[in-house]
Structure 1
């Protein structure tokens, strides 16, 4: 990464680093399409009123206006602002295009978003997200909650990020448990539980007692629930052992059981029931997901989301959905920082076509055209310097093969890594498969 960024929070990758980012995006795209998700792209701007419907995030939203604009009203709901995530634009997109979509509608979307927060490790002001959602018209089968967990497990397993855990909870389970305890403000309990990893059990217990009105026994029970983590369905027995009963708890347990049961068979070791997961956004109503890299938990969640009973509504029509969002830039920054993978070379070119003299440029272009016509990326020398200098230039560029055209019209190609030089025909020569495309290692 370009180390001396003139604006913090706005990452700019060097060419070899961009190859890594492109590899991540291509892998996600391929996986999402294998699971039947269609790609869409929405505009970069929304009205401020539309964006602020998601909650109190006005301090994070970048407004958009002309430099010459006069008397701008910052509170005008129709003024434009850059989107800070892809869910709000997707909700608008669904409502506006509902008549042209087949429901349940499966979409993936990979775009930049902008968020005005303090830059730090893994947090940027401009970054790329990759979202997948399934949205229904009126109703949406719970099986999609299960399917999205498996899709994300497939996608992340295909990336060079090491081990990860997709941690899953259910809001109905948590709310039913708290109500069964006699706590009538489950949202306040969830907000407290959401602080566990930052402030610890005793500090959360104090909040529950002093601010939420829980007894010590109720606080201890809420903390006991949050401590349950399993890679199989044994969480059900552990919750039941706490002795709390409520109809909503039963529903949440059954839904989470379905997710973990399927994942333990189809993605063993990757998906975990974690009853401490709360998710900060109020609109999640059932399944909630968060994902961490094992050994890099301090980075925070790299992929999160959940079920919402109302992504959007129009008149009497309601559009429930379930979705997850991957922080691509956060992932790439960690891949690069940990040197988990690197680009095979810094440029896409496989071949550097040399010039024997200044009059051979057009002949060299004919060679390049023939190679490109067969999908072999190449570039032509700009001047007829000594061959040694042309080879050194190709080496600095990271181009593995150098092409020579002899006076008698024959051709030779040299692998400058090994020194091997062979006779070649531009209409048939092909590099080894591992060199044909710029890959990551």
Structure 2
């Protein structure tokens, strides 16, 4: 068999990288649970009619089918796809279980998703997301919109990554402003302005004029999109543009609440950025994107927003607000710069040296005693010379080697970094806190 080649867009991490990923996941999970979000995991597949209900991701959905057609299979088996985000399966889950859930329902979900887009740095076809959402029946109080950046801000600050800034806007601000200008299709204007970073203001203005806006209206849209503040001063700046609309007023009030609440919690965490819109159709109010300091050109690492109709059944409606951390996206960018390190490539804290093969049972007993107190331990693979066994530990960053005492002598343990070797009892010895588990650090 020839040597296999990597499959683009489907990352596979070495053990040290995988431990870094697990470390980050645990920190994110812990923060989510501190805010009372409950864990959820949904199935990997959804019916195609659910995945394609918005239409814009139809070219990115991976279809799931049998290699050989089974005439006895249920017809639904031929119309399944892998989920491309965690919002669609969450909406389905809420509908299916609405009679069993307590509302408002707060959930977090850390799970793989699949999207058939062109792989590039920080973007994959299989990737891990960490989502939180709050959903309610009929009406969801606005204070949950102000809570989302606080949760994610705490989660991101718990990670050994560069500082992050959450960019926030409100769809009502944009739509109300465009309607106040007299533009009849605010959604189309929003989609056009959303291309600002890709094609620049001149071409955006040209597109707006080509779609029916006057030059003055196009210029006003660009002026709105250029507003960026770290406090609520954006309200006065928008008002100075001279546009009046009730929906605009409502959006400005909501956006100001989000910014002011975040500034009380963590000054510098958030910035009002009136050009962001988010691409998905179901966002109706607050929208979030997040930049990582030093990696701004790669786009958002965390995004989400308010949706007034996450799911509906008959007369019953479930509005929600949510945000998603792109775990694989963050890791891909930082791994690409060697910007994350871990103190050792295995979980092991102690290697028990093996003086000779017929003493393996005794060495296993020592290891068992250490493991009983949650100290990660392994026994040396062979009864090689002690120098070779020490190098075995050293190559993998394992800090300690345990030497069983001979002829009634006490056991000793050696810190192979400092060379210090002391007597030790497997029933009571404890490593320093910083050595118990591998440490992850940003560079």
Task: Please tell me the TM-score bracket, short chain as reference.
Answer: over 0.9
SS in 1 for 2:303: strand
1:149-202 per-position Cα deviation (integer Å, ceiling 9, x unaligned): 211111112222212211111111110000000001000110111000011100
Structure 2 equivalent of residue 237 of structure 1? 236
Q: Taking structure 1 as reference, are residues 170 and 77 closer, same or farther at Cα in structure 2, changes over 3 Å only?
A: farther
Structure 2 equivalent of residue 168 of structure 1? 168
Structure 2 equivalent of residue 43 of structure 1? 43
Structure 2 equivalent of residue 127 of structure 1? 127
CA distance in 2, matches of 1:301, 1:71: 45
CA distance in 2, matches of 1:150, 1:432: 33
Contact 1:285 1:309 in 2 (8 A): yes
1:78 deviates by: 6.2
SS in 1 for 2:341: coil
How many residues of Structure 1 are paired with residues of Structure 2 in the alignment? 436
Structure 2 equivalent of residue 198 of structure 1? 198
1:265 deviates by: 1.5
Structure 1 equivalent of residue 288 of structure 2? 289
Matches within 5 A, 1:251-400: 251-400=250-399
Q: Taking structure 1 as reference, are residues 72 and 10 closer, same or farther at Cα in structure 2, changes over 3 Å only?
A: farther
CA distance in 2, matches of 1:59, 1:253: 36
Contact 1:351 1:400 in 2 (8 A): yes
> Which stretch of structure 1 is more off in the superposition, 146-155 or 47-56?
47-56
Q: Taking structure 1 as reference, are residues 350 and 312 closer, same or farther at Cα in structure 2, changes over 3 Å only?
A: same
Contact 1:128 1:327 in 2 (8 A): yes
CA distance in 1, matches of 2:57, 2:333: 26
1:72 deviates by: 13
SS in 2 for 1:368: helix
Contact 2:109 2:132 in 1 (8 A): yes
CA distance in 2, matches of 1:357, 1:157: 49
Q: Structure 1 unaligned runs (5+)?
A: none
1:294 deviates by: 2.3
SS in 1 for 2:290: strand
CA distance in 2, matches of 1:55, 1:166: 28
> Which stretch of structure 1 is more off in the superposition, 15-24 or 138-147?
15-24
Measured on the aligned residues, the alpha-carbon RMSD in Å equals: 1.7
SS in 1 for 2:118: coil
Structure 1 position 414 matched with structure 2 position 404: no
Structure 2 equivalent of residue 103 of structure 1? 103
1:408 deviates by: 2.4
> Which stretch of structure 1 is more off in the superposition, 64-73 or 148-157?
64-73
CA distance in 2, matches of 1:272, 1:61: 33
CA distance in 2, matches of 1:230, 1:388: 61
1:58 deviates by: 1.5
Instruction: Using structure 1 for the length normalisation, give the TM-score.
Output: 0.96
Contact 1:411 1:423 in 2 (8 A): yes
Contact 1:48 1:76 in 2 (8 A): no
Structure 2 equivalent of residue 226 of structure 1? 225
Contact 1:201 1:223 in 2 (8 A): yes
Structure 1 equivalent of residue 427 of structure 2? 427
SS in 1 for 2:251: helix
Instruction: Using structure 2 for the length normalisation, give the TM-score.
Output: 0.96
CA distance in 1, matches of 2:72, 2:29: 40
1:80-115 per-position Cα deviation (integer Å, ceiling 9, x unaligned): 111110000000100111111110000000000000
Structure 2 equivalent of residue 88 of structure 1? 88
1:299 deviates by: 1.1
Structure 1 position 150 matched with structure 2 position 142: no
1:5 deviates by: 5.6
1:242-295 per-position Cα deviation (integer Å, ceiling 9, x unaligned): 000001101101110110111111121111110001111111110011111122
CA distance in 2, matches of 1:43, 1:166: 30
Contact 1:231 1:273 in 2 (8 A): yes
CA distance in 1, matches of 2:297, 2:249: 33
Contact 1:172 1:249 in 2 (8 A): yes
Contact 1:54 1:88 in 2 (8 A): no
1:344 deviates by: 0.9
Contact 2:177 2:245 in 1 (8 A): yes
1:205 deviates by: 0.2
Structure 2 equivalent of residue 189 of structure 1? 189
SS in 2 for 1:60: coil
1:71 deviates by: 9.2
